[in-house]
Copies of this chain bind each other. A is one copy, B any other.
Amino acid sequence: MSAASTTFPLQERDIPTHWVNLVPDLPEPPLPPLHPGTLEPAGPDDLAAIFPPAIIAQEVSGEPDVELPEQVREAYKLWRPTPLFRARRLERALDTPAHIYVKYEGVSPAGSHKPNSAVAQAYENAQAGVRKLTTETGAGQWGSSLAFACSLFGLECEVWMVGSSYDQKPYRRSMMQTWGASVHRSPSQLTDAGRAQAAHASGSLGIAISEAVEVAARDPAANYSLGSVLNHVCLHQTVIGQEAIAQLELAGEAPDVVVGCVGGGSNFAGLAFPFIRRVLRDGARTRFLAAEPAACPTLTRGAYRYDFGDTVGLTPLMPMYTLGHDFVPPPVHSGGLRYHGDSPLVSALVRAGIVEARAFRQNDAFAAALQFARTEGIVPGPEPAHAIRATVEEALAAREAGEPRVILLGLSGHGHFDLSAYDAYLAGELEDPEFSEADMDAALARLPQAPAIG
């Protein structure tokens, strides 16, 4: 066993002072979101009902580096810098010459990367005099993160949790309440949207978004907060990749491939964008691999079109890979990856060939997660399990090629609240649902009118 260093700790002073905005470095300017009625580009005014000015400025910023407010940086110190370690035990188990580095975001209070944006959003809303944030949550990661962030900045937090998750994951609900949030089972009786959808008792992310947006829009002291997809959320997450660059420099290595899972895209963006900027500016030779679930293969099977960000059609039209805004992904345990679309920025990078995408079956992802847990100790969340599977494939390809390739794996969170899925996997009872091309085709046929792209 090697006695060489396996972790590369940073100090608090190494927490980034700026977020990386990739927009000004892109080969082509990103397509604008469109107002669904006029099909004209949607501007800052279209967002002002639910977002504070500073967040809107971040959403549309053209600056390459966006300064991190000092109080956000102070809050980041509660868990950042996060660890980067070399997974030598996994390397040995795979008998690979590859060097596998893991950037681990599961040390945050909520257990994933989500607080990086939740803290930034809660801070800017508190600065703007907002008193309450509303949001939706599926599996509970985003709701937990926003509850935690609101507790730091003295904001009320009201979360609509998808009914089936509310029933199945009581401990994520307890965690939100521990941080002081109110949690409602969606559909609720508190909103028009909820009352109208009462028949859909198990709820959906789309209904929960509608409820949270409705409450934020009608209460002048309340705003809405979104946990992925949008530019400002991707921006906030770039502390991950910037720290990883510094830590890999301590290790004396540069990645041949950067691997992360993609649901709405903010985790992948946070890890990859700082590295992609180096590729675009300096011509560094790095591959970027986005891992998604075969049950919801947005980037590998979706259409590159303008579509709504939410299921019921409240948002501007976004240019992105989509399975259709009312496509309902089969129930897999990676709640964080069950999204019909993808971040417009990540979508554009896939379209441009800068980011590769690959889809993985749920059982294959859990097999890799189990191997990771038994070698490296950490029990991964089901979402990053897909990235672990991709990493294993890359490490085995390096063995085939006989090359000591450097792989950087983004491990976005732990699986402490997902052990029922491990239970099912260990019992051989984990479903491995198929993606339905017919359902996607039907959903794509219901896409809104909008200009063709790409």
Residues of A in contact with B (beta carbons under 8 Å apart): 1, 3, 5-7, 9-13, 70-71, 74, 77-79, 85, 89, 107-109, 111, 148, 151-152, 170-171, 174-175, 177-180, 370, 373-379, 416-417, 419-420, 422-423, 426
Contacts and interface: CB of A to CB of B under 8 A. Distances in A.
Given A12-B5, A12-B6, A174 B423 contact: yes
A379 B419 contact: no
B426 A71 contact: no
Contacts of A107: 107
A177 B12 contact: no
Contacts of A151: 373-375
B374 A77 contact: no
Contact of A178 (B10, B77, B419): B419
A178 B71 contact: no
Contacts of A71: 1
A12 B7 contact: yes
B426 A174 contact: yes
A279 B213 CA distance: 59
B3 A74 contact: yes
Contact of A374 (B79, B85, B171, B180): B180
A111 B379 CA distance: 11
Contacts of A12: 5-7
A378 B78 CA distance: 9
Given A5-B13, A78-B89, A174-B423, 11 more contacts: A1-B70, A1-B74, A3-B70, A6-B77, A9-B10, A78-B85, A78-B376, A79-B377, A171-B419, A177-B423, A178-B374
Contacts of A175: 379, 419, 422
A376 B178 CA distance: 12
A422 B376 contact: no
Contacts of A77: 6-7
B426 A178 contact: yes
Contacts of A375: 151
Contacts of A171: 416, 419-420
A373 B174 contact: no
A382 to B, nearest CB: 12
Residue of A10, A111, A373, A426 with most partner-chain B CB within 10 A: A373
B74 A420 contact: no
Nearest to A370: B178
Q: Closest 5 interchain pairs by CB? A: A109-B377, A174-B419, A171-B419, A416-B416, A151-B374
A179 B376 CA distance: 10
A178 B377 contact: no
Nearest to A177: B426
Residue of A1, A13, A179, A374 with most partner-chain B CB within 10 A: A374
